[in-house]
Structure formats: C-alpha cells, structure tokens
Structure 1
Amino acid sequence: MSRRSPFPHRSLYHAFVDQGLDRWLARLPEQLAAGLDRQRYGDLPAWEKAVAKLPPLPAARRVNLDADTVSVACELTDGRRRQCENLLKKLMPWRKGPYSLAGIHIDTEWRSDWKWQRVAPHLAPLAGRRVLDVGGGNGYHAWRMAGQGAAFVLVIDPSPRFFYQFQALRHFVGDADDGRTHFLPVGIEDVPERLAFFDTVFSMGVLYHRPSPLEHLTQLKEALQPGGELVLETLVVAGDETTVLLPGSRYAAMPNVYFLPSSAALCRWLERCGFDNVRVIDEAATTTEEQRATEWMTFQSLADFLDPGDPTKTREGYPAPRRAVVMANRPR
C-alpha cells in the first residue's frame, strides 16, 4: 500500500474467485464504488493519501496476529518511524485495538483484546474456517481470527475511515497472513441473500444500532452455512424474557441506539429467528478501563457519557452500558 496500485482491490477479487463467491463477486464493483465514494465522504482522499504515503518497510519483520497486541516488529530509522506515526494519526480516531507497528503503540479507545479473551475460549476452532466479521471496524478481531488459522476472513463495515485504517495495517502486516484477511466497505444488508457460506459469523457491537433487530439476526443466519456458528455481542439490560429497553433520542450520547433486550429476551429472539443451541457465554458491565479516550482517540468516551453523580446510569438516566455475548448455531 505504499504505492497506489492500478487495481488496488485485486487481492479482494482474487479471494472471492478462490472462495467461489461468484454471486457476490458480480456486485463488488458497485459496492466498492459506493463504499468509497469521494463525493459522499469528503475526508476520503486525505485518508487514501495518508496510506499511500506510508514508506516502504523492510522485508525482515516479525508479525504476531495471535497476541493481545497485534504487532509488527521491524527496524525503522527514527525519521521513518515519525513519518509512519504522523500518517497513522491522520486516520484517527482509532477505536479498536491495540496495535504495535514498528515501535509505534496505537492505544485504541477499546481494549478489544479483553473482548477477544472473553469470546475466544468458547469458539469452535477457527482453523480452516471461513469467517465473516460484521461491523468489524479496522479489523482487529479479524487479524486475531487469521492468527488462529482461519482460512478466509472478511470484514464488512460501511465506514471508509475503517477501510483505510485496515489498509494501513495491511501495509505493516504484509503477506504474513498469506492474504487470508480482507475488508469490504459495506453493511450486512449488502451481503447476498441466502448466501449460506460462512462457517462462523461475528456481529459485535452492531445489533443495538439496527432499527429492525430481528431482520439483522435473520441476515446473519442466512450468511451462515447449515451448522455454522454465530457470535453475537450487544448491549443488554437486566430483566426477563419480556424485557426490552427502547431509549429516547439518545443512549449514552449515541443517537442511533434502538433496542436493548435482556440476555433472556435476546436468546428468545434468536430462537424465534430459527437458531438453535443458543447460549449466553458472557455478560458484564462495560468499564471505563475497557472503553476510554486515549492519545489515538481524543474525543469523548464512556466516562463522559455516564451520570457524573451515579456511574450506574447514563447521563440520560438509563442503565449504564452492559454487554452480553450470545452464541448460537444455524440448524443443519
């Protein structure tokens, strides 16, 4: 990515061909054009330029995708390292991580490694599996999936900023993942219907942004092959199978939050959508140690969105963020 390719998405096309995703392959030109539309996203040229200016890296580098901090170790001059750091900061805010790139530590808003630690022990082994990461941000969890041997990992996220953060990370990672990790700037609604392709589908931090949550669950199920595994992480509230919170115009300062079910209600939703083997593997309050402002994400974060007099509530008076991880399978 240090020099613009005349066909920058070649590896993505080749991956879709290799995976036999012919029905989706035909849609890629239109989806890439819409997701990276310069008229729609005014900052996009600056992000693209920042990635293109990243200097060449030495071939000798040590890449670790299977550690809490996704790391790339290589020798750079002080000047080259400062250049890389300045360019990476042009892609801020960095929300998912952490990363260590040629001695540059990217301390992201989320300690995404903590979430991975909660999820990973419960997964069907990822080695050899085809994985879809819905709303995967810059790809932190996707790199971890590749580090555990997944055969094909596709991140989908409609944010072009995250697309260019992923491309910057690709510049450092190089081909250490054997080209198994890819990013497409689309949402779940752009995945072909009834695809039934992926062995594992992750949707973490997406469901509460969907005005039609059961539709989202159905879309996730249709992306899975029979017997495939869903990993769903979302905001929840305390309560029984009938408990669902529908916030007003904002929840923890976020304007696009819709339904927050209890874990029990979420399990019922999944069963109604046709999943089986539904189980809650983790539920806990989100702390200000796990989500916070940093040098690489200088905007307000969780601490600013809680009631200063009662951190068990948001500043709107709702229960403070609590997240659950629920897993399920598409029936065979």
Structure 2
Amino acid sequence: MRDTTAQQRLAALLEGSGLEPIAHFASEAYLYSRGHGLTDKWLQMYDDLPDVTASSYDFTSQVRIGRREDVSDEQYQAIHDAARSQIPWRKGPWSLFGVEIDSEWRSDMKWDRLLPHIQPLQGRRVMDVGGGNGYHLYRMYGEGARMVLGVDPHPAYYFQYRLLQHFLQELPVHSIPVTLDQFPEGIPWFDTVLSMGVLYHRRSPIDHLFQLQSYLRPGGELVLETLVVDGDEGYALTPPGRYSRMNNVWFLPSVPTTESWLRRCGFENVRTVDVNTTTAKEQRPTDWMPFQSLTDGLDPANPNLTVEGLPAPKRAITLATAPELARRKGGKKR
C-alpha cells in the first residue's frame, strides 16, 4: 500500500512509548474505513504527482517546499492543479515549488506571536491537537523538534497534509485523521502539547484540559490558544446559538477564567502571554478559500460585535507546565 512506509516510520518514532497502536491511523486501511467519498480520487492524485526533489526547504521564516526552478512547466501545473483541487485552504500560507497557496488564515502571524514565549523546541517530542493541515507542524520541525505529531479528525485537512508530505516523506512530521479520544489512555510522553482553536469547540473544556495534561511528561509545556471574552475570573460566555456564524462554540472564557481552569486541573506556572483581537489582515477570504470568513461573521455596523450581537473574536495564548504524575488531579495515576 502507498503509505506502508509512513506507518512504519511513525511506529518507529513511537517505539517504547506505549503509543505504538496509533501508528495504525497512518494506514490507508484506516483512511478507507472513514468512508470519505474522495479517498480514491485523492490517493490516485498523489500517485500521479511528479517525483521531484526540492532543492531546499524553509520552515523558519515561512513554509517553503522547493522552488519554481526545481520543476518543469508540466510538473508545476500538476502540483498547482492538485493543490487547487483541495480548496478551501484554511491554514497557511504555503509555497510549494512556486505554487503560492494564500490560505484563509495567516497562520504565520499566530506563530510569530507564540514562538518567543514557549520553551525551545529543539529535541522535543511535540503533539498538536487540532493541527489542521499541518502548517504549525512544519514550523515546529523548523525549530528543531525531534518529532511532531498532528491530531485532527477532518479528512479534508488530512488530505492537504498528505499532498505536502508527498514531497517531505523523510521528515519526522506526521498527521493522523483522528481525535485524541481514539488514543490509548493518557500516556505522558510528549514534551510539548499544543491545543489551538479547540477548547471552545469542546462541550467539557475541563475534561479537554485533563486529557491534554495526560499526554504531557512532568514538566512538559501546554500551549493553549482559544477564543476569550473580557470578564472577571469565573466568567465564561456560553453562546445561545451560533457564534460569528459558527454553530459548535460552547464556552468562551475570560482570560482569568482560562487560567483558573488550568490551575484547577493541576497545571503550574500558568500565564497568558498574548491576547489578540482577530482582524481581516489575519483571517480573510482568498482565491484559495473563496467562502465566508471573519468579516461575514461580524456586525457590518459595529465590527466589535458578531452578527449575533456577541463580542467579536479575541484570542489568547496561555502557557502552563504539567505537574509531576503524583500531583495530577485527573485520570489515573501512572
């Protein structure tokens, strides 16, 4: 099968961790079991991609794979057409052998806000929960992470990752189309765990924080990025229906509430390092994502409010340290 080697590589990286069973999620057998109607079409597309080698990469100042001069006109067109077939591109931007993919989110802007504050990634094992198509996975690898694992259940994001990884197969960067609930029960193996843009989609945010903690080694770092609202400790907004046209938003805590939730779960050294109001410079429709975006969810008469009359999107990055196993409050002690 096409991805047997990818499954084997992930299994090798996980050897001795207790997480070896999740390598199965990198197999095509699992992918077909998801029942996504375009699986055959897109896997065949990967087979038909040109077998080209990038002359260089850049994962530090951007995500660039190869250059235009690395490919012929015919090869360039094949890569361009494959990428266009997978619109919408939500996270990016990407440069793929000269194909410039201008995604909805300028994910590099979030990365630039985040990077100065987190523990250095050199030599660390990192998991990104809700990693989408893998943009931040490559940025973390560019900072020296020894292995990076993305976890996101959406097949469309996974297929975008597969397109990019087709040209980067030797890198220890993996994404699997699952939820964290499909992992073996919490095994504290990762040095850094990120959850960005996930917490407000969880019906039980406290359970999500405990779950993230359970996969962190003692002293490991949690990077939590979430929508927040202004308010005192204890306040969290629960939208009565949609929020900025999204229908799966459950809790928008204040920054003090976010920090108190983390402390209640046993995290240590909790601190919020960035609060940022989302603007159309960072999230907007493009030729690669020509659908509704941020401004469509805002009140046209008052951009400080959503179309539902709620506070406009504001995001906070909060960091925390995982406690020793004996001091953890959720799940089984190990």
Shared fold, TM over 0.5: yes
Determine the C-alpha separation between the residues in 1 that align with 2:181 and 2:79. Answer: 35
CA change 1:249–1:47 in 2 (3 A) is farther
Gap regions ≥5 residues in structure 2: 325-334
Q: How does 1:264-275 map to 2 (within 5 A)?
A: 264-275=256-267
Out of 121, 125, 150, the residue aligned to residue 126 of structure 1 is: 121
Residue identity matched to 2:149: L
SS in structure 2 of the partner of residue 277 of structure 1: strand
Determine the C-alpha separation between the residues in 1 that align with 2:112 and 2:16. Answer: 31
Q: Deviations over 1:50-78 (max 9, x none)?
A: 32321111x35111111234342252222
Determine the C-alpha separation between the residues in 2 that align with 1:330 and 1:22. Answer: 18
Q: Deviations over 1:220-271 (max 9, x none)?
A: 0001000000000000000110110000221111111100000110000000
1:319 aligns with 2:319: no
1:32 is displaced (CA, Å) by 5.1
1:75 aligns with 2:70: yes
Out of 131, 136, 140, the residue aligned to residue 131 of structure 2 is: 136
Supply the RMSD in Å over aligned alpha carbons. 1.8
Out of 194, 202, 208, the residue aligned to residue 210 of structure 1 is: 202
1:85 aligns with 2:77: no
SS in structure 1 of the partner of residue 44 of structure 2: helix
1:127 is displaced (CA, Å) by 0.6
CA change 1:141–1:27 in 2 (3 A) is closer
Determine the C-alpha separation between the residues in 1 that align with 2:63 and 2:28. Answer: 32
Out of 219, 232, 236, the residue aligned to residue 227 of structure 1 is: 219
Determine the C-alpha separation between the residues in 1 that align with 2:113 and 2:287. Answer: 26
1:106 aligns with 2:101: yes
The corresponding residue for 1:3 is: none
Determine the C-alpha separation between the residues in 1 that align with 2:256 and 2:71. Answer: 51
CA change 1:9–1:96 in 2 (3 A) is farther
The corresponding residue for 1:47 is: 42
Gap regions ≥5 residues in structure 1: 1-5
Q: Deviations over 1:27-86 (max 9, x none)?
A: 5437857862466322333332332321111x3511111123434225222222122111
TM-score, normalization: structure 2?
0.92
1:309 aligns with 2:301: yes
CA change 1:281–1:22 in 2 (3 A) is closer
Contact 1:35 1:158 in 2 (8 A): no
The corresponding residue for 1:198 is: 190
The corresponding residue for 2:273 is: 281
1:61 aligns with 2:55: yes
Residue identity matched to 2:265: C
Contact 1:31 1:186 in 2 (8 A): no
Determine the C-alpha separation between the residues in 2 that align with 1:137 and 1:173. Answer: 17
The corresponding residue for 2:246 is: 254
Determine the C-alpha separation between the residues in 2 that align with 1:72 and 1:174. Answer: 14
Determine the C-alpha separation between the residues in 2 that align with 1:266 and 1:144. Answer: 26
TM-score, normalization: structure 1?
0.92
Deviates more, 1:143-152 or 1:78-87: 78-87
Determine the C-alpha separation between the residues in 2 that align with 1:326 and 1:317. Answer: 26
Contact 2:229 2:236 in 1 (8 A): yes
Deviates more, 1:44-53 or 1:300-309: 44-53
Contact 1:283 1:323 in 2 (8 A): yes
1:166 is displaced (CA, Å) by 0.9
1:193 is displaced (CA, Å) by 1.8
1:150 aligns with 2:150: no
Identity fraction in percent = 45
Residue identity matched to 2:55: R
Q: How does 1:160-171 map to 2 (within 5 A)?
A: 160-171=155-166
CA change 1:312–1:181 in 2 (3 A) is same
Contact 1:191 1:223 in 2 (8 A): no
Determine the C-alpha separation between the residues in 2 that align with 1:248 and 1:310. Answer: 20
SS in structure 2 of the partner of residue 316 of structure 1: coil
Residue identity matched to 2:60: D
Q: Which runs of 4 or more aligned residues in structure 1 lie more than 6 Å from their structure 2 counterparts after TM superposition?
A: none
Determine the C-alpha separation between the residues in 1 that align with 2:185 and 2:21. Answer: 14
CA change 1:20–1:200 in 2 (3 A) is same
